[in-house]
Amino acid sequence: MEFAGSPLSLQPCHPGTTSTTLHSCIHQADPTRVEARPSRTPQLPPPTPAGSGGGLVFTPPAGPGGAIVPTPTDNRTVNTSFNETLFGSYKISSIKCKALRDKIVQQTLGALPRSKVNPSEPMCLAWHSKGQCNTGCPCVADHVQYSATELAPMAAWCVIGYAPPAPAA
């Protein structure tokens, strides 16, 4: 088979190659193009100066490794019937519910009022006093609307719970 009068005057790139078909020799291949792809993705943490490992060591970001503390921004639920009159000042308080619950555990603070939904469970402090909580809350059943009257025990509790520590007499 001879290509008679081929419009392309391709020259074989290698001596001895007789093929006149389009070949894939990489005459013009730019060797820098092979390495041109960026090697770093933005998610990767900055390389740590690990002197002993030898090579890149992926250090997991501190936090979600198995931490028990739930992040408040996750699964957040907002109390749309939050009582601003009773709890507005506590909502903006820098005192965290976690700190107050710790005090309850340490028995330096009285127990929370009972939930109207399930009297064997406490009312949700975050839901009623901060106006938001999360779906993983153990008191999620208490995330319901309370009347001002029903909130009175919680309001009374917060007066003490959110009060600045009294000076030692």
137 touches Zn ion by CB under 5 A: yes
Q: Does 144 contact Zn ion by CB under 5 A?
A: no
Shorter beta-carbon distance to Zn ion: residue 86 or 133 = 133
Of 100 and 124, nearer to Zn ion (C-beta) is 124
Report the C-alpha gap between 20 and 6 in whole angstroms: 9
In single-letter form, the type of residue at position 87 comes to: F
Tell me the backbone φ, ψ of residue 160, rounded to 5 degrees: -85, -45
Angle (nearest 5°) at CA 158 between 154 and 163: 170
CA 49 and chain centroid, separation? 26
CB 127 within 8 A of CB 116: no
Contact flag: residue 87 with Zn ion (CB under 5 A): no
Give yes or no for residue 146 binding Zn ion (CB under 5 A). no
Within 13 A of 8's CA, how many CA atoms are on the CB side? 8
Q: Which stretch binds Zn ion (CB under 5 A): 20-28, 46-54, 95-103, 122-130?
A: 122-130
139 near Zn ion, judged by CB under 5 A: yes
Query: Which CB sits closer to Zn ion, 48 or 135?
Result: 135
- Judged by CB under 5 A, the residue of 86, 97, 123, 124 near Zn ion is 124
Nearest residue (CB) to Zn ion, 20 versus 109: 109
Distance CA 115, CA 121 (A): 6
Is residue 82 a contact point for Zn ion (CB under 5 A)? no
Q: Which residues bind Zn ion (CB under 5 A)?
A: 124, 126-127, 133, 137, 139
